[in-house]
Chains A and B, each alone.
Chain A
Amino acid sequence: GAGVSQTPSNKVTEKGKYVELRCDPISGHTALYWYRQSLGQGPEFLIYFQGTGAADDSGLPNDRFFAVRPEGSVSTLKIQRTERGDSAVYLCASSKESSAGELFFGEGSRLTVL
């Protein structure tokens, strides 16, 4: 499709496990963002990529969270030693440029940590 694609759409895991969430942005979009949306909250910024590099990872909550974008397209958000508090919808967005113009969001990956 032409939109931002995120997989899996739903992930249930046990506390302490490792999780990977994938984002396939719109073709040609150089900027990619990860946000986290907890129940009853607005999205919260996690990390921003311009091309292959993480230009700003200041929103990552701790060192259990890491994201990569090795070829400047697909990105993977990795969470180690998951905790129940990590349960949320993880949203990926992409845009043509880095000026927070129109962000196109995917449908999100809902993570549930039991």
Chain B
Amino acid sequence: LAKTTQPISMDSYEGQEVNITCSHNNIATNDYITWYQQFPSQGPRFIIQGYKTKVTNEVASLFIPADRKSSTLSLPRVSLSDTAVYYCLALRNSGNTPLVFGKGTRLSVIA
């Protein structure tokens, strides 16, 4: 399983765009990059998943360069409610594989 590395914490002001980068140097050919969000006292929640280039949904955008050794989760115009821990994972697209979470990035949004 590809090991992922993220910053431990980030701070941002409300209304700013936040970019959280994850490195996954040994990602396998059939691994997808998946991001989860976790609020206090709740289980993690799926945000977005991608294989390469760019994926966008109503919550976030995910940028994956051609070499796929890193990815960037982009949160546009964050609000206080985006304060959470964000996890990056490499998810295999075949076989039965367990998901191993790292320690995530704690994003604090300040008014």
Partners in one complex: no
B residues adjacent to A (C-beta < 8 A): none
